[in-house]
A = this chain, B = another copy of it.
């Protein structure tokens, strides 16, 4: 389980484990300096995982603010990843035919307590590609926050990307979703008042879960009368929400949550600046990223943009749940581009 770490910028010692003929999984960590939009030059750690045949085209997969570099279990790193069903044998993102690169967002380690722009993430990714000697990405598949980072990468590093797939992320946050996140950050701040950081963070995550999912799903799963516990009403979904909060708190530094949540709200691009062919995937019923905003993004992209619409009871989380349909969209988006896999 080697985590390679290098103190000096641009040097690294990756842990590389042969999986099968020609397929490798590598993790690495490098030190770099990112010139941040709102905070100036800052030292950061760039942590990545690269899986697949060394000669295959490289696809970056970037997820939501709680995603990370480990997208799927492999022989070298067998723990479950966050996109297990999408990065697998027989899928469009099959490590046997593509190299899948994923990275920890800067700030995700909680060590960067300044405003973080999606542009900063894009520049960090470019530094990482320099370091890995990857001139151009075949595709960047970004979901949620990852879609915003992908848009910035396409604008700021246009020559390094052939196609962008932006799932559940528009050119700017919807004002209602921004308000929802702002209140989540206030829950964290309320917890921090007297050293109940974890309670505040758990509550923020629980409110976030409501924005990721839909009433349809809750209606099916939690339609039971409430209980009275110690003279207080406890509704059917609270066990689920308790578990979601506890799980999140166990793996998330408070500052990472706050700064990446803010980062979504700082995002704002002009789609006419984006010149890379882009497939926008929208989910009807997404409570954070309304279909209309994805349509707005596609309209701004003009002939470079195309739209795929998915209807799912999982709302914003459809990317992680509707994996067959997402895979089919990815197959269409990625395959026709004349790759040489």
Interface residues of A (CB under 8 A from B): 38, 114-115, 172-183, 185-187, 190-191, 193-196, 199-200, 203, 206-207, 210, 214-215, 218-219, 221-226, 228, 231-238, 241, 262, 265-266, 268, 287, 290
Contacts and interface: CB of A to CB of B under 8 A. Distances in A.
A284 to B, nearest CB: 14
Contacts of A228: 38, 115
A232 to B, nearest CB: 7
Contacts of A187: 187, 190, 203
25 contacts: A174-B215, A175-B215, A175-B221, A175-B223, A175-B224, A176-B210, A176-B218, A176-B219, A176-B222, A178-B235, A178-B237, A183-B203, A183-B207, A183-B241, A186-B206, A190-B190, A190-B194, A190-B196, A190-B199, A191-B194, A194-B194, A215-B287, A219-B290, A225-B268, A235-B265
A194 B214 CA distance: 31
Number of copies of chain A assembled together: 2
A175 B237 contact: yes
A226 B172 CA distance: 11
A210 B184 CA distance: 12
Contact of A182 (B194, B225, B237): B237
A225 B191 CA distance: 27
Contacts of A183: 203, 206-207, 210, 241
Given A179-B237, A190-B190, A233-B266, 20 more contacts: A172-B225, A174-B218, A175-B215, A178-B222, A178-B235, A178-B236, A178-B237, A179-B210, A179-B218, A179-B222, A179-B238, A180-B210, A182-B237, A182-B238, A187-B187, A187-B203, A190-B200, A226-B265, A226-B266, A232-B262
Contacts of A235: 173, 175, 178-179, 181-182, 265
B194 A226 contact: no
